[in-house]
Amino acid sequence: MEVNVYNIKGQETGRKIALNESIFGIEPNDHAIYLDVKQYMASQRQGTHKSKERSEISGSTRKLGRQKEGGGARRGDINSPVLVGGARVFGPKPRDYWFKLNKKVKVLARKSALSYKVQENAIIVIEDFSFDFPKTKDFVEIVKSLKVSDRKLLLVLPEANKNVYLSARNIERANVIIASALNTYKVLEADVLVITERSLKSINDVLIKKEA
């Protein structure tokens, strides 16, 4: 499958580039996508939530009332969970939400996400470019030229480029990522992917290498 290559002015260059069918043309696996997105979101959680248990609350351990014939529940001391200001039963504790996911499943999920974008005609390939210095105005012009200013954009670069990153940082609907860090969540979150030519080669190298 081939797509047109555009320049940063949004004009067709007259060239086409082939998208690897084994990456951009597979039958998407929704369950693999679910697992990969679930792991990504789980790894973003700090897991520092904590509530105090009965033994951690400061208060007297004196029994407040008799065991029976009090007309209510047997509540023991003032730290009882049934009293206002008491402990919490089975409250949250600090924990790590990360879980293991096989590399082949993660690769399949990324391929599936990219294949979905191809089916939605949501991938634009542009020529490689760079900025001599950060300038948001120049990046906005590129977005307008590609006619994606009203959509959530993910720009995929072959390697880190500080000037491009800083130029896009203040644009609410734009994100920049390097090809080696491309993940399922970021792909699905974006309305359109703008990929440079060298980034396509990097994506091919990363996903095919990890699959082997």
Q: What is the pLDDT of residue 74?
A: 83
CA 127 to chain centre: 26
Per-residue pLDDT for 203 more than 90? yes
9, 127 Cβ separation under 8 angstroms: no
pLDDT, tens digit (0-9, with 9 covering 90-100), for 100-115: 999 999 999 999 999 9
| CATH topology for the 2-45+100-211 domain | Ribosomal Protein L4; Chain: A; (3.40.1370)
Instruction: Put the strands of the sheet holding 192-196 in their side by side order.
Output: 12-18, 2-6, 123-126, 192-196, 153-157, 174-178
Which segments of 121-161 does DSSP mark as H helices, in order?
Answer: 136-145
pLDDT, tens digit (0-9, with 9 covering 90-100), for 135-183: 999 999 999 999 999 999 999 999 999 999 999 999 999 999 999 999 9
Give the residue range(s) of CATH 3.40.1370.10 domains in the chain.
2-45+100-211
Characterize 70-90 residue by residue with b for buried, 16 or more Cβ atoms within 10 angstroms of its Cβ, and e for exposed: eeeeebbebbbeeeeebbeee
Per-residue pLDDT for 212 more than 70? no
pTM surpassing 0.85?
no
Q: What is the pLDDT of residue 210?
A: 62
